[in-house]
Amino acid sequence: MKKKSIWKRILKWIRNLVIFFFASTILTTIAYRWIPVYYTPLMFIRCAQQMFRGEEIRLKHHWVPLEEMSKDLPIAVIASEDQNFEKHHGFDFDAIQQAMKEREKTGRVRGASTISQQTAKNVFLWPSSTWIRKGFEVYFTALIELFWSKERIMEVYLNSIEMGDGIYGAEACAQLHFNTTAARLSRQQCALIAGSLPNPIRFNSSKPSKYLIKRQGQILKQMSHFISFPAPKADESKKGSKKKRKK
């Protein structure tokens, strides 16, 4: 009888823990649909790493709405990081297949994470490559795709992603690297920032290496294929073309 009661308590505890996890994560995701994300796990991890190394803590972050960023910045990161961002529902399966094929042929490991996945990782998780973390990433990616718009995902992404040593988000990067604001970033500067994102500690957008300048040129070419973000809907583009014809 005692063993049965112990198992019942354990099962009840596990059940309550599971209910708490789903309830808390869903409510937090819904809240972040409107509330600015001022701090992320990565920010705290980087600060802890700096402390352990005996360095001065570096954390520069200024939240700004998407409307107060250069219109070229979301286009640049889409062109560089996730060209199907507005089409997929969190996961780009074509990019995943291509990355797997490339790995089989060349042995080169290429990331296929979407902007949605990177946002989920930045806001809710920690940087690692374990299967457990990947599993949580899938879960949180599904949540933000369900409860957030693409514009909100992009807004949180551009405000929370690491863009340099102790630098997070477009506004802090614009101020520290280009002595301007996120709203006044040029097309060329946006391409440099996007090119540095795979490794912003190694590639400094304010002091671009030859490789980063090359990436900038490639991204600028890709940006020409994207008109704006969000892309105009089919009905809106038809209306626009009709107006032009009438003129």
Give the pLDDT confidence of 150-170 residue by residue, as tens digits: 999 999 999 999 999 999 999
In a domain, 240, yes or no: no
pLDDT in tens, 62-107: 999 999 999 999 999 999 999 999 999 999 887 777 766 666 666 5
In terms of domains, do 176 and 84 share one? yes
Domain with 12, as residue range(s), is: 1-31
Single-letter residue type at 23? A
110 falls within a domain = yes
Helix axes 115-124, 72-81, angle to 10 degrees: 100
Is residue 97 situated within a structural domain? yes
- Kind plus residue range of the DSSP H or E element containing 121: helix 115-124
pLDDT of residue 151: 97
Q: Are residues 124 and 44 in the same domain?
A: yes
One domain for residues 202 and 161 = yes
**3 — pLDDT class (breaks 50, 70, 90):** low
For Cα atoms 186, 188, 190, give the angle at the middle one, nearest 5 degrees: 70
Would residue 246 count as lying in a domain? no
CB 159, CB 115: distance < 8 Å: no
Does any domain span residue 237?
A: no
Does residue 220 share a domain with residue 147? Answer: yes
Distance CA 171, CA 4 (A): 58
Per DSSP, the three-state class of 149 is: coil
What is the average pLDDT score of the chain? 89
* Residues 10-56 pLDDT 10s: 888 999 999 999 999 999 999 999 999 999 999 999 999 999 999 99
Is this structure's pTM higher than 0.85? yes
Instruction: Give the domain CATH number at 174.
Output: 1.10.3810.10
Rounded distance, CA 10 to CA 89, Å? 37
Are 203 and 118 part of one and the same domain? yes
Q: What is the pLDDT of residue 104?
A: 64
Query: Does one domain contain both 16 and 65?
Result: no
Long-range CB contact pairs, 81-85, < 8 A, 24+: 81/114, 81/115, 81/118, 81/194, 81/197, 82/114, 82/115, 82/116, 83/222, 84/114, 85/114, 85/115, 85/116, 85/150, 85/154
Domain assignment present for residue 241? The answer is: no
Quick one: 168 and 149 in the same domain?
A: yes
Asked whether residue 165 falls in the same domain as residue 196, the answer is yes
- Any domain includes 63: yes
How many domains does the chain fold into?
A: 2
Among the listed residues 174, 191, 192, 196, the one whose alpha carbon sits nearest the alpha carbon of residue 183: 174
Question: In the structure encoding, which two tokens stand for residue 155, read together?
Answer: 């807004």
Same domain? For 22 and 54 the reply is no
Separation CA 176–CA 197 (nearest Å): 16
Same domain flag for 200 and 182: yes
4 with 67, same domain: the answer is no
Residue 66 and residue 23 share a domain: no
